[in-house]
Amino acid sequence: MEYQLIDGKATATAIKQQIAEEVKAITKAGGKQPHLVAILVGHDGGSETYVKNKVIACEQCGFKSTLIRYEADVTEDELLACVDKLNKDDDVDGFIVQLPLPKHIDEQKIIMAIDYRKDVDGFHPVNVGRMAIGLPCFISATPLGILTLLQHYHIPTSGKKCVILGRSNIVGKPMAQLM
């Protein structure tokens, strides 16, 4: 049996370079620089790292990025007001509300408040539904990354058997549908 090494870091670097070239061409032609906003609540170590990496990726791709930080005691109403403001801000092309959120905030309520057209995490039910029926949408990062790697290395999945461990709404369920 033949094996193929899949190099995620090298693939990511190549894709970021390609995106950076596209962004340069867009802005040179007078187009808008893409703008991603990340909302980070509290000081969860994993979330801090994930968001930091998003900011770095934005820089590498030529995107404008904004980080909005709240302490863990932020109210649900304050967070909802921030989401509403970003939904209405024409300069913001997409945003994420980094999960998990503190226990006193209803994550689903926050996700539902995000305009699905700016929901780059792909968590809003409209994006999940569009993905399920094959319409253009935002897809959760990990499943999209896996799909991108498979496509980049020309690894066909049609007619193959795939094993997906877990059934989370963020990785397992979307991955199963994409396969």
Q: Which residues are catalytic?
A: 54, 98, 121
CA-based nearest residue to 115, from 141, 139, 96: 96
Contact 66, 35 (CB under 8 A): yes
Indicate the Cα dihedral angle 83, 89, 95, 97, nearest 10°.
-20
Region of 11 please: left (phi>0), alpha (psi -120 to 50) or beta: alpha
Q: How many CA atoms lie within 13 A of 64 on its CB side?
A: 9
In whole angstroms, give the CA distance from residue 58 to residue 41.
Answer: 20
Distance, in Å, from the CA atom of 67 to the CA atom of 153, rounded to the nearest integer, reads 33
Angle between helices 45-61 and 8-28 (to 10 degrees): 50
